[in-house]
Amino acid sequence: MTAIARFRLVVLDCRDLDAMADFYQALTGWPVERRDDDWVQLSNGGGPALAFQLAPDHQPPEWPSADRPQQLHIDFVVDDLDAGEASVLAIGARKART
């Protein structure tokens, strides 16, 4: 099958570009590849990139919630779940309400 398009990047809308970029840069170790007034893009130098677009009125999802449900999720793999959880909480992640 011939591809119609090539997957390039995932873009997340956010109110605070620096906070989002800093969090995901700490999580992935990827450097900033591009920065503009309303855009920050991280890349590992190969494969798809991860970008953040300024959206001042953005309301982030609250999961689990029907009012502002999950709109997207990004899967990451860690070798040690407990250590990984502690590390992402230390850089600003929040645990989902249950």
Q: Where are the domains of the chain?
A: 9-90
Selected residue with higher pLDDT from 41 and 6? 41
What is the rounded average pLDDT of the residues 26-31? 95
What is the rounded average pLDDT of the residues 32-42? 96
Kindly report the pTM of this predicted structure: 0.78
Structure tokens at 17: 């570009």
How many C-beta neighbours within 10 Å does residue 77 have? 6
Using DSSP's 3-state secondary structure scheme, residue 47 falls into coil
pLDDT for residue 27 is more than 90 = yes
pLDDT for residue 98 is more than 70 = no
pLDDT value of position 62? 77
What is the rounded average pLDDT of the residues 30-34? 95
Domain spanning 9-90: CATH 3.10.180.10: yes
42 close to 35: Cβ distance less than 8 angstroms? no
